Amino acid sequence: MNDSKELFDYWHQQVRLKNLGLISASGHVETQRLRHDCTNYDNLRTSREVQWLEEPERSRVIAVIKYECTAQVLQRRAGILKDRVVELQDANSEVEHQRSRLMALIRALQEKLFGKDQENQQLKTRISILEAENEKLKVQAESDKAYAELLEDFEKLQKEFDKVAKRRQELAKNNQSLGGRVAHTQRFRRERDEARSAIQDLRQQLTLAKAENQRLQQENETLRLELNQLRQQTKLGIVEIRRDGH
């Protein structure tokens, strides 16, 4: 198996992923651990097929196996994290939708509730709605935080991809006897560029999410002040009713 593309394609097909829970972990996971615990790298490296080879061919094949295992597990992890970001964005849209419904409900209640006898009940209803809105804004802030953590982990994966690319270039340089390196290198560069493009999109989305989070925090503070004022008005209304009724 002297052709470089044939060599990489062969071992690419031999890689098997496992331990999906670790691959999907939200926190940072070292590349070495992903390679050993989430692929069959150790089995391939110590297989009879590899051990029968003479040096330096054996070392060259092991390097190819290491590259293929690392690249595949990192690509799978990047895809999972990207899907999770999409889920968070959908959740954020749902929160915004619920917020809009609450505001519409508030306006409807303001139009329906009138008269001096219903004033206290209107204020209490308004307070309950504002408290619910306040809780939803807190959930939104937590979602934005989780989104930022995922993007940070995604950027760490990009650095790991760059390390793999550098290792791939060194491998190609040290094994000039192998042919067809260009096709495989182009394939990896294309995959790397796609990952970088995805990260750039996520950075832009994070910027928008941060701006939205600041807006929601400001709105939350306004609602909190209004809530305090309404509570104070409720207390004053109760005192006036008691005075009128002696």
pLDDT 10s digits, 152-199 = 766 776 777 677 777 777 776 766 555 555 566 666 677 677 767 766
List, in order, residues 6 or more apart from 4 with CB less than 8 Å away. 172, 175, 178, 179, 180, 181, 184
Mean of pLDDT over the chain:
78
- Residue 225 is predicted with a pLDDT of 83
Q: What pLDDT score does 221 carry?
A: 82
* 3-class DSSP assignment, residue 197: helix
- Supply the pLDDT for residue 56: 92
Question: Given pLDDT bands bounded at 50, 70 and 90, which one contains residue 65?
Answer: very high
User: For the chain, what percent of residues have pLDDT higher than 70?
Assistant: 68
Long-range interactions of 228-234: CB distance < 8 A, separation 24+: 230/123, 230/126, 230/127, 230/130, 231/127, 233/123, 234/120, 234/123, 234/124, 234/127
pLDDT tier for residue 245 given thresholds of 50, 70 and 90: low
Highest-confidence segment of 62-66, 132-136, 162-166: 62-66
Between the ranges 2-6, 90-94, 134-138, 219-223, where is the mean pLDDT highest?
90-94
Task: Tell me the range of 22-36, 112-126, 160-174, 215-229 where mean pLDDT is highest.
Answer: 22-36
* Amino acid residing at 125: T
d(CA 124, CA 138): 21
Radius of gyration of the chain from its Cα atoms, rounded to whole angstroms: 29
Residue-range domain boundaries for the chain: 4-244
pLDDT-based confidence at 99, cuts 50/70/90?
A: confident
pLDDT (0 to 100) of residue 16:
96
Higher pLDDT, 52 or 244: 52
Percent of the chain with pLDDT over 90: 30
Q: How confident is the model at residue 52 (pLDDT cuts 50, 70, 90)?
A: very high
Q: Average of pLDDT values for 191-213?
A: 71
- Tokens representing residue 9 in the block: 């394609």
pLDDT band at 115 (very low <50, low <70, confident <90, very high): low
The interaxial angle of helices 4-14 and 181-244, nearest 10 deg, is 40
pLDDT digits (tens, 9 = 90+) for 74-86: 999 999 999 988 9
